[in-house]
Structure 1
Amino acid sequence: MKNIYKKAVCLLALGLTLASCENYLDDIPKGSKTPTTLADFEAFLRDEYTNQRVDVLPALHVLNDQFVNAATLSSNRLYNANYMWDENANRIELKPSDEGTYYGGYQGISTFNLIIENALTATKATEQEQRVVWAQAKLLRAMNYFNLVNFYADTYVASIASTKLSVPLITSANINAPSKQVTIQELYDFILNDIKDALPYLPKVSQTALHPNLGAGYAFNARVNLQMNNYTEALKNADLALAENNKLYDWIGYYNANKAVIDVPNSYTTTPSPMGFNYVENYTFRHGSSSNLGAEFDIPVERAQRFETGDARFISRWKIRTVGAETSYRRTLTGAFNFGGITTVEVYLIKAECLARAGQIADALTVLNTVRKTRILPASYQDISTTDKTTALNAIYRTKNNELIMTLIPYADARRLNAEGVYKVSFTKVVGGKTYTLSSDSHLWTSPFPQGAINNPGNGTITQNVDK
């Protein structure tokens, strides 16, 4: 599929040029196939390593969710700026022109635009079949734009969202398609409209895990509304999503089934990841940042310490290891990982936050503890019980950050909470006797556009959203 994709479609990504790229409708090279049937367009959704990959590596570095060793920090100045929270570094100068987060996001958008433009007139399909593929592409396009706006623009704040720029909006797959760097409000309105268009046609059960279903539509709607601090709509859509799928994976059972391997001291023999295409928590599956798609990342010791005692999910995934002068937690799962899609656990925790925000603390903790009972080993488990809103929300945030580590969500949540100013997120660490701090109002929470995008913005203009 990937070879057909490269021949048949010219990927439109700002600043990305392909020497032999032509409009597939105008001139098809010999040996290439012109997409005409619905099956042709639907197959683009299955190109999982490009269109279904969500690279959030810069966010993982800012959060220190991925361990980066000293040698890499020394050789990669951008990694060092993000990971060591260097406020003085000029990340604009350090930003490579081929940065995967930006170009990968727009590569997927170009493909989804192609499907949206052609699915409703594709051959060999009923109108209903056409609408399903069209709707799935609409939802995936909206997901890509959500990822991009939460990297390269300030987070959503209703009072100023109409005055601040976000990212370029492109709605056509044509290589000369115009782009406009719209406001944050305009982009969120566009995302919500794509969701609205998609929901009536998303199937309850989709063809594969890569194809969003109705539960994915509701779940993503909940995610977007939460980011906009619209807790009523977020809760409504979380409930609708959970009505489609409310399954939680039994991580305690996984640990017990594999403890003979997991508990061996100083052994890093791997066990299979349950978080692949058949993960019971999936609404829709998308790959994450790891360049080695058969494994996840190691994590720093400081990050490991933020997991609850007895967290079977953590114990099953990482084990402490020292190499030379450096100690980290080594990954011990191999296989596929749904770090770019949407899962039920995120929706449970969206629901828990919305209930707590509404003052329904007991109900919020019931939802939170429902998740924890499938994660925390019985010897360590205790219900979280409090009547204090702040205590409840902090417990929800801790669980959510741990559950969704290696995804965009902890980063997006931190930006949202920092903008709100009540439950601020900041970090401090000591390395080599020196203290490093990431403040809640640091400019490092917004990533600069790559130099290549600024220098070659396509059919439009781009203004940087940060000074450095």
Structure 2
Amino acid sequence: MIMMKYLITVALSTLFVGCSDYLELKPDQKMVIPETLEDCELLLNDYPTMNSGYPIMGEVSADNYYLTTTSWQSVSLIDERNGYIWSDEIVTTATPWQTSYKAIYQGNQVLDVLENLKTKPADLAHFNELMGAALFFRAFAFHQLLANYALNYSVTNASSMPGIPLRLKPEVDDAVKRASLTDSYAQVIADFKSAARLLPTDGALKARPYRGAAYGGLARTYLDMGMYEQAYLYADSALHVRSDLLDYNSLNANASLPIARFNKEVLFHAITSTSYALAQGAAKIDSNLYRAYEQNDLRKKVFFKANTGANAGTYAFKGSYNNTASGMFVGLTTAEMYLIRAESAARLGKTAAALTDLNHLMKNRWLTGLYSDFYSVDRNAIIAKILAERRKELLFRGLRWSDLKRLNLGNTDKMQLKRIIDGKEYLLEPNSLKYALLIPQDAIDEGKLEQNKR
């Protein structure tokens, strides 16, 4: 079994090494064939593959921060420099696309093994957990790809809009074209729902999904789609599994990284690849965003640190739920579920429920005894307040790009983004086609895929 584990690891690392190798290399089926539940467990516990390396370019393109001309010129990855100014130059780095499909491939491997077992497993609960986890990882990776490389879902035209390639089998030789946005989201939802039925309710391993995480994935997906009734129901289900919140009064706000990794709010832990543009030494927090935090809001000290020297008067982000300055946390938390449930409730007219969730979260973010409950009978005012707190709570979580796409579809929330580099102004208009990031050119060429329009 030790040799089997070694061969699985070597085969997978060989298969996916390099930016475009996933698009070119073929697996040596004679080298390793996972066959047992233990083999599946090993594949799912591969943290570098299943929990890290998710796309980061949506956040690079979003508006939580800015770069000075000097910092922008110092970003070593040309794709990030281009992404920051929403350039139409081809994307040369396939890594974020590749690593997401590597997780999908590995999840598909597990599903293939489980579906083809010759004998019924004695431990059916373990079998179900492994199948549920594989489905969850596939859904999570698909959704991360959709958030970056597709336009926002709209029921009126999603069936005619391109989504992503839906690889549902471990074979890499098969050509898979981009499914429609309707079918892409349907697959994500189907996988998350199947995972929720199979997974145990909860557990201690933050890097492995449980039922609460599957509910959370559904809540996030339905929110992106603007389906607020379903988003409310699944956020509610997630919070019935676990509702813990960190009291920020208990954190050392002066620490360089105040928030513990795998803390009690985390329903599922996942991170992106490292970004040069979003590094602490480069990314300056949007000044209007920083000023939006009130003085007694502990997030102002927990999330940010003052820059010094030539950058005095600006601020850097230090509030990562990954407890590191690299690799942005894009996992699921209870705080996100409270905000999804609150926003969905407000949009559905359940204003009392929305205010209860919002105020409960905020009490855990402000200095003890100094928060006064927000109250309004104006549904639009409540929604606006929740959205403001959502941005302040969930910045640098890979969610802002999706939120901009979703909110720009409305009549009142449209936002034009602006960058200034070397005196030149760059604009991103609401509902621009550029909200579907360009797919790496290697993937387009090798897979003969349709590129996003410009």
- Give the shorter-chain TM-score range: 0.7 to 0.9
Cα offset, 1:301, TM superposition: 4.4
Give the stretch that moved more between structures: 116-125 or 348-357.
116-125
The match for 2:36 is: 37
Distance 2:139 2:18 in 1: 17
Cα offset, 1:59, TM superposition: 1.6
Is the 1:82–1:444 contact (alpha carbons within 8 Å) kept by the matching residues of 2?
no
**For residue 11 of structure 2, what is the amino acid of its counterpart?**
A
Give the stretch that moved more between structures: 45-54 or 299-308.
299-308
Residues 428 and 395 (structure 1), Cα distance of their counterparts in 2 relative to 1, 3 Å cut = farther
The answer as to 2:19 corresponding to 1:27 is no
What RMSD over aligned residues (CA atoms) do the two structures have, in Å? 3.1
Is the 2:280–2:316 contact (alpha carbons within 8 Å) kept by the matching residues of 1?
no
**For residue 179 of structure 2, what is the amino acid of its counterpart?**
V
Distance 2:330 2:311 in 1: 33
Q: Secondary structure at the match of 2:48?
A: coil
Is the 1:320–1:329 contact (alpha carbons within 8 Å) kept by the matching residues of 2?
yes
Distance 2:179 2:321 in 1: 39
Decide which of 299, 304, 311 is 1:313's aligned counterpart.
299
The match for 1:90 is: 88
Decide which of 368, 378, 383 is 2:373's aligned counterpart.
383
Residues 13 and 108 (structure 1), Cα distance of their counterparts in 2 relative to 1, 3 Å cut = farther
**Deviations 1:123-171 (CA, angstroms, capped at 9, x unpaired):** 8762331121111110110111111112111110011011111111111
Q: Secondary structure at the match of 1:140?
A: helix
The answer as to 2:338 corresponding to 1:343 is no
Q: Secondary structure at the match of 1:239?
A: helix
Residues 260-279 of structure 1 aligned to structure 2 (within 5 Å): 262=254, 270-274=256-260, 276-277=261-262, 279=263
The match for 1:46 is: 45
The match for 1:463 is: 450
Cα offset, 1:186, TM superposition: 0.8
Is the 1:35–1:41 contact (alpha carbons within 8 Å) kept by the matching residues of 2?
yes
The match for 2:80 is: 79
Give the TM-score normalised by the residue count of structure 1.
Answer: 0.84
**For residue 462 of structure 1, what is the amino acid of its counterpart?**
L
Residues 77 and 54 (structure 1), Cα distance of their counterparts in 2 relative to 1, 3 Å cut = closer
Cα offset, 1:296, TM superposition: 7.2
The match for 1:252 is: 249
Cα offset, 1:324, TM superposition: 2.8
Is the 1:156–1:184 contact (alpha carbons within 8 Å) kept by the matching residues of 2?
yes
Is the 1:427–1:437 contact (alpha carbons within 8 Å) kept by the matching residues of 2?
yes
Is the 1:45–1:210 contact (alpha carbons within 8 Å) kept by the matching residues of 2?
no
The answer as to 2:357 corresponding to 1:367 is yes
Cα offset, 1:310, TM superposition: 2.7
Give the stretch that moved more between structures: 334-343 or 281-290.
334-343
Residues 328 and 389 (structure 1), Cα distance of their counterparts in 2 relative to 1, 3 Å cut = same
Cα offset, 1:378, TM superposition: 4.2
Residues 53 and 13 (structure 1), Cα distance of their counterparts in 2 relative to 1, 3 Å cut = same
**For residue 90 of structure 1, what is the amino acid of its counterpart?**
D
Cα offset, 1:36, TM superposition: 2.4
Give the TM-score normalised by the residue count of structure 2.
Answer: 0.86
**For residue 297 of structure 2, what is the amino acid of its counterpart?**
D
Amino-acid identity (%): 25
Is the 2:293–2:299 contact (alpha carbons within 8 Å) kept by the matching residues of 1?
no
Specify every segment of 5 or more residues in structure 2 that has no aligned partner in the other structure, as ranges: none
Decide which of 392, 395, 400 is 2:382's aligned counterpart.
392
Distance 1:413 1:335 in 2: 20
The match for 1:300 is: 285
Give the stretch that moved more between structures: 68-77 or 176-185.
68-77
Cα offset, 1:385, TM superposition: 1.6
**Deviations 1:94-118 (CA, angstroms, capped at 9, x unpaired):** x11x333211111111111111111
Residues 321 and 343 (structure 1), Cα distance of their counterparts in 2 relative to 1, 3 Å cut = same
**For residue 293 of structure 2, what is the amino acid of its counterpart?**
F
Give the stretch that moved more between structures: 212-221 or 297-306.
297-306
What is the number of equivalent residue pairs in this alignment? 438
Q: Secondary structure at the match of 2:329?
A: coil
**Deviations 1:218-273 (CA, angstroms, capped at 9, x unpaired):** 1111111122222111111111111100111111221xxx25xx1xxxxxx62453
Q: Secondary structure at the match of 1:420?
A: coil
**For residue 190 of structure 1, what is the amino acid of its counterpart?**
Q
Distance 1:234 1:169 in 2: 23
Distance 1:78 1:308 in 2: 36
Residues 95-174 of structure 1 aligned to structure 2 (within 5 Å): 95-96=91-92, 98-121=93-116, 126-174=123-171
The match for 1:265 is: none
Distance 2:6 2:351 in 1: 53
Q: Secondary structure at the match of 2:178?
A: strand
Q: Secondary structure at the match of 1:456?
A: helix
Q: Secondary structure at the match of 2:308?
A: strand
Distance 1:441 1:429 in 2: 17
The match for 1:424 is: 414
Cα offset, 1:418, TM superposition: 0.9
Q: Secondary structure at the match of 2:315?
A: strand
Specify every segment of 5 or more residues in structure 1 that has no aligned partner in the other structure, as ranges: 263-268
Is the 1:215–1:242 contact (alpha carbons within 8 Å) kept by the matching residues of 2?
yes
Is the 2:58–2:401 contact (alpha carbons within 8 Å) kept by the matching residues of 1?
yes
**Deviations 1:407-434 (CA, angstroms, capped at 9, x unpaired):** 2222212111112333223345667776
Give the stretch that moved more between structures: 345-354 or 398-407.
398-407
Q: Secondary structure at the match of 2:132?
A: helix
The answer as to 2:273 corresponding to 1:283 is no
**For residue 452 of structure 2, what is the amino acid of its counterpart?**
N
Distance 1:8 1:79 in 2: 31
Is the 1:11–1:111 contact (alpha carbons within 8 Å) kept by the matching residues of 2?
no
The match for 1:324 is: 310
The answer as to 2:61 corresponding to 1:62 is yes
Cα offset, 1:190, TM superposition: 1.1
**For residue 7 of structure 1, what is the amino acid of its counterpart?**
V
